[in-house]
Structure formats: structure tokens, C-alpha cells
Structure 1
Amino acid sequence: MTSAQAIKQLVTFRIETEEFGLPITDVYEIIFVPQVTSIAKAPESIVGVINLRGEIIPVIDLRIQFLKEPIKSKKQRIIITRSQGRVIGLLVDEVKEVLRIDENSLEPVPDTIVTTQTAYMGAICKMDNRLIILLHLDHLLNKLEINFIINEVEKREENIP
């Protein structure tokens, strides 16, 4: 029997056919996609910012981040979370469910696929016939993206009355 501590809850979501997960403790909220204001000269994956109850939040399109073509659909959602100490929104194709998992179902990412391009992969969860990639949020954004958020997005927020 596993201890209560060994059970985690994951918010799972989809990008194309791939399934990803975040610990529920890292998810502040999940929202419908509001009007996103684009920002000139932003890195490609930062599709703009949203105003969520007076807070300016940069939105990262995970499709672009994972080198896929951007789309628009009614199932898309923005997951409000945090990366490198900053609140961000992750635009995903669809939020699937909240899963209870046993930590024993988590496996490290195989060394053979660990690169700077896959640093966002924190672990892999094996459940039945599913593989869910757990995101390592602090490795999701590159230096260019995080510097843009610090220097451009946060400056804009300071200028809001």
C-alpha cells in the first residue's frame, strides 16, 4: 500500500496528440482564451499578454514552443502557472483531466532523449497505455524568452495605473 504522500494529482493537457501534465499545485487556474494582445518583437512562442484581474500575464503558445503549427480552436485553454518565479499563461490545445497518480508510475526521462531542446521534460508518467510528459516549468522558457518577460512584459505592468 502506498502512503498518501506518494499520490499526486496532475492536470493533464494535450498538444496535438501528445499528452502533458503539471502537478496540480503548480496550476493557479485554467481559463478560456480571452483577447490576447500581441507584443512587437516578442520571441515567437510568446504570442502576447492578457490582463487577468489587473495582472499582465505573458502567454506562451506551447504548440509553437514544441515546434508545431499554431491553431485556434474552441477547446484551447490557458493554464496560469509560474516559471522561473514569474506568472505565465500556457496556451494548450485542450485541458483533459485531473489525474491521481502514484509516484511509482513516474520515471526519469531517458538519457538518450535529454537535450537542451527537451529540457522541459521533468519526468514521464506511465499509466495503462498512456505516456504523460510532466513539464519541468523552470526549464520550459529559454533565456531569450525569460529576459523578454522580465524586460518588456513586467515594464508594461509597472506602467499600468
Structure 2
Amino acid sequence: MNASKSWIKFTRKELKLGIKSDLKFVEFKLPLKSGSKAINFFTFCITIAHEIGHNLGSIHDGETGAEACLLTDYFIMTPVQNFDKIQNMQRFSSCSISQFKATLILNGATTSNSVCMINSPIDLPVEFQNANYSLTGQYYPLNDQCIMAYGNEASFCH
């Protein structure tokens, strides 16, 4: 991981308005490049989490190596988004978590892939020093997230 870089590129000015965006992503570990398109803020955030999941070594739920996790459970690493199980859309499946651990931890010790995650940044930019690091679900309840994505009539049903 030291020899390569991981990055996400956001394009289009509409992104600032939450209307439409293109997300480009190059993985640090896997040889393939992947790209994605998110239409609104809610799916945009899920798409970012999904692409970072690839970055950390996860494949899609339901694929070879992750057969135990059904793609129809619609966790973050499903290859298609669906609101049938919206509570799972903000969670990684047990298969993804196992793949993250395999990428980052070996026999209880960190791997060379995880070195960049355990070092401390030398010069943290001032805008990040006092940032709010609350999880999205702690900062915005699901009803508010639905309203932001789909309008005032939208709501989350438990």
C-alpha cells in the first residue's frame, strides 16, 4: 500500500447541490478500477461507503468468497441498491467485515496493507481538527435522511 495511493474523485458542480454526481474511484489493493454514479445525497453516501469497502478488500455480497451474505439483504456491499431492507443499507455485512479483517489483520497483527491506517497524520489540516465525527445515523435520524433524499413526504418505516 505504501507504493500506491487510494483516492476518490468527485466531479460535476451539481454535487454541491446534491442533485447529481459522478464518483470515480481507484482501488489501492485490487488491480481493477471501479466507478459509480450516485443520484442523491443518501445514495451518494452509501456509494462512497461501498467504494471504500472495495478499497479495504471487500467484494460484493453474494459473489464467490462472500456467498454466505445474500445480495438481497442489501448491505452496503450489495452490487445493487434497494430500499426493501433500508436498515441494512448503512451497515457492512459479516462477509465484508471478515474481508476487511483479512486485508488489514493477520494473526492478530497489522498487515502491510493497514500501516497507513494506524499512523498519525503529521500536519492535520485545521478544518479537520474540530470536525464532527458522529456517524450519519447519529447526526441525522433515518426520517430526516429520507426527507433530504426524497422530499418532505418521505419517511422511514421500521
Q: TM-score range by the shorter chain?
A: under 0.3
Q: Which has the larger share of strand?
A: 1
Q: What TM-score do you get using the length of structure 2 for normalisation? A: 0.25
Q: Which has the larger share of helix?
A: 2
Q: What TM-score do you get using the length of structure 1 for normalisation? A: 0.25
Larger Cα Rg: Structure 1 or Structure 2? 2
